[in-house]
Structure 1
């Protein structure tokens, strides 16, 4: 492996981001002298002053080998998987492949930066050749539409790259996962699964998105005044659920937050949010009876420039909350954001606004998009891989995933971190194969800088 050029007998997996951490995913597969990139995302690091700084993997290894980069696949539209593409594509200049909804989101980002990259649409279920890699897109359920696992086949072996996923029989937006798509893989002899570890420590099975409707509806009906629901803009299934809630509860639906408007526009362009999702003009909200208003807002993580923060501060130009209004946090607090969220809740409660948070409610107000232990076990038993390669988690998440794989009958697990090379054919890891690090975006100067600290 010392040559750093994979031969036709090699099949390598090389993560430059997202292995040993949650977020900032950048994965490389190597075979027959070429590389295939899967995802290229960002993360957000808290800086002095409380603002989040956009950070992304340092792609130096592959930027120095772009003549060997066959293409880039975006598995789905979350920022930790596509957020760095518009910032780094100029270093790659390779074709990008993704599904229709993710393409809409990605094109908007590229056009904002004046980038005309070739972005090709691939439908779930399709199989195409990218250099020496044969790639099949397999529908898998997650919290944003058209998320796909990838079956990556070469002459040397086959890998199932799960991306983010869960087993959801009623995902609200998009089709349910087809079990046969994965059980059939066992007969093909999958060499390895590169698998999401985010919720591996959680026992049991994650909630289905469809299970949230009744509890969200009951919480809205309990509220005498306006209701503001904070959730992730990219969670299109949650947006549709709240559209259904607004319809049944007889409330006007409003949208607050630039990213929310952008995501809704992309979703509609791809054919989603076409039933019971009819937002009124945000400027009309202040003139409607309080008990008739249901607002979806950005800011569930306490972001200082998001719509919910401005509502709490009383400086939103379109609406002012009043005592007796309700704010529902329909999202889990991401580790590291606890202080910001607690400060936001204090600001709201000081205004005598009732706050209901998914983390502290007996009702089901949020469903994770990542698999719990029983779902991981089921996937391993369906596919029967020779090797499990846990990613998308900190070390302890990945260790839990490896333990589940072993208990599910997977013969081998390979644990590593960013920069390690996973030799799929021979089932071994070469530590520190590639240089890794982080870049941060200085938005004032529109430039990328290296993060001068250990990652």
Structure 2
């Protein structure tokens, strides 16, 4: 299966019909370009989290035609599989400085070979990668330096949104700039491949600036120790909490290896401001309760994470007492409700006040994905000939397709992993064109098919 000089193809091997585990291929003139290569977490033997990733057999068999991999941002579901799968590709990886730092760290942490070369790009850069001309367009998301991609070929062009939202107050990085996407529409775009995660939610996603206000009010009302549980990759949230601590006279500590890692990566590329200050976690236990502010891992109820150890009073750096507060500044991912509920109950039994972003009256968390209003705006700016919803279950992608049609997009195509989407010269879908599947990462680093 080889694209010709007049063809522009899109072939997802992961992330289409599911949330997570993204692996996207674009084909033109005998060549393939990969965008993202991520993982997901599933319940494994004994109830532990098992790392799973797309089976790359199709593109591994065509690796001589793979001209490059582009990592759009630093989330696990977009780069987490690269340390393990890159040896099957052995082509350049293009990404921004922060994502490159995270990718190198992940590779070292797994004892895997880091992809090479990793070619660092800047917002607005244009590169020729095989027959593809690629322009990196900054777009706001819940982790820094996320990039949309304008992929241009003589056969046609496609805008791959990556994960995104419209954030006019992002805390870190520049605000969302609609003009970038209006310009793409003015140049003319054959198709858009678009994030569907929140397509069923009306309106617009709150900004990180709104989260900062909500957290500031919640923390100011607390008298004892305060623990904020959030995703480590939300660097803007980390910066926000640091600033609130400074204003409220609290010292900030980090509990959890992934938080330490993400802070190290962000500092290495100067993403955190000079006011970001943390103390050694071993010092937290010696401070008066009203001076303690903690960022902790474990917002999804993960066994062994910092928050679970605090709930069990087994963390070596800190003990929680009645009058302390834990704020979940993260949404509960579907499937994790029971684990988060048990964790919350254990905290409450210790006399700790628990607040969840899922049911708080103030904004304590904001998604990184576009709601229906944002999707509508994007389609109106781009005016594509074809919309291909991805990054969602079928119900999310169908809702995204309906929004596209309602804004005047002539054709919206939905499918699933392994379907070949013809974007040019004629639009259409060939079902099950490529074999797909999942690989599970064993504790010894081996990859095994998921049956």
Q: Give the TM-score normalised by structure 2.
A: 0.98
What is the match of residue 135 of structure 2?
Answer: 136
What is the match of residue 249 of structure 1?
Answer: 248
Task: Tell me the number of residue pairs that the alignment of Structure 1 and Structure 2 aligns.
Answer: 448
Deviations 1:95-148 (A, max 9, x none): 100001001101112233241421010101100011100000000000111000
Deviation at 1:244, TM superposition (A): 1.5
Q: How do residues 202-281 of structure 1 correspond to structure 2 at under 5 angstroms?
A: 202-281=201-280
What is the match of residue 70 of structure 1?
Answer: 67
1:314 equivalent to 2:313? Answer yes
More off after superposition, 213-222 vs 406-415 = 213-222
What is the match of residue 50 of structure 1?
Answer: 47
- Distance in structure 2 (CA, Å) of the matches to 1:110 and 1:134: 28
What is the match of residue 430 of structure 2?
Answer: 430
Q: Give the secondary structure class of the aligned counterpart of 1:15.
A: strand
More off after superposition, 217-226 vs 130-139 = 217-226
What is the match of residue 343 of structure 1?
Answer: 342
Deviations 1:172-212 (A, max 9, x none): 11001221111011122101100000000000011011012
What is the match of residue 357 of structure 2?
Answer: 358
Q: Give the secondary structure class of the aligned counterpart of 1:49.
A: helix
Deviation at 1:274, TM superposition (A): 2.0
Q: Give the secondary structure class of the aligned counterpart of 1:177.
A: coil
Deviation at 1:48, TM superposition (A): 4.3
What is the match of residue 93 of structure 1?
Answer: 90
What is the match of residue 27 of structure 2?
Answer: 30
- Distance in structure 1 (CA, Å) of the matches to 2:224 and 2:320: 9
What is the match of residue 390 of structure 1?
Answer: 389
1:9 equivalent to 2:6? Answer yes
Deviations 1:11-69 (A, max 9, x none): 10000000000000000000010100000000000134331100000000001111000
Determine if contact 2:4/2:30 at 8 Å carries over to the other structure: yes
Deviations 1:320-373 (A, max 9, x none): 111111000000000011111001001101111110000111111001100000
Q: Give the secondary structure class of the aligned counterpart of 1:295.
A: strand
More off after superposition, 43-52 vs 86-95 = 43-52
Deviations 1:370-422 (A, max 9, x none): 00000000000001001110000000000000000011111110010000000
Deviation at 1:222, TM superposition (A): 1.6
What is the match of residue 21 of structure 1?
Answer: 18
From 97, 102, 107, give the equivalent of 2:99.
102
- Distance in structure 2 (CA, Å) of the matches to 1:43 and 1:114: 18
Determine if contact 2:83/2:112 at 8 Å carries over to the other structure: no
- Distance in structure 1 (CA, Å) of the matches to 2:309 and 2:194: 38
Q: Give the secondary structure class of the aligned counterpart of 2:47.
A: coil
Displaced runs of 4+ in structure 1, greater than 4 A?
none
Q: Give the secondary structure class of the aligned counterpart of 1:399.
A: helix
- Distance in structure 1 (CA, Å) of the matches to 2:98 and 2:232: 14
- Distance in structure 1 (CA, Å) of the matches to 2:47 and 2:247: 39
More off after superposition, 235-244 vs 156-165 = 235-244
What is the match of residue 115 of structure 1?
Answer: 113
- Distance in structure 2 (CA, Å) of the matches to 1:275 and 1:359: 32
Q: Give the TM-score normalised by structure 1.
A: 0.97
1:297 equivalent to 2:304? Answer no
What is the match of residue 37 of structure 2?
Answer: 40
- Distance in structure 2 (CA, Å) of the matches to 1:316 and 1:419: 45
Q: Give the secondary structure class of the aligned counterpart of 1:424.
A: strand
Deviation at 1:247, TM superposition (A): 1.4
Q: What's the C-alpha RMSD, in Å, of the aligned pairs? A: 0.8
Deviation at 1:433, TM superposition (A): 0.3
Q: Give the secondary structure class of the aligned counterpart of 1:327.
A: strand
- Distance in structure 1 (CA, Å) of the matches to 2:445 and 2:14: 22
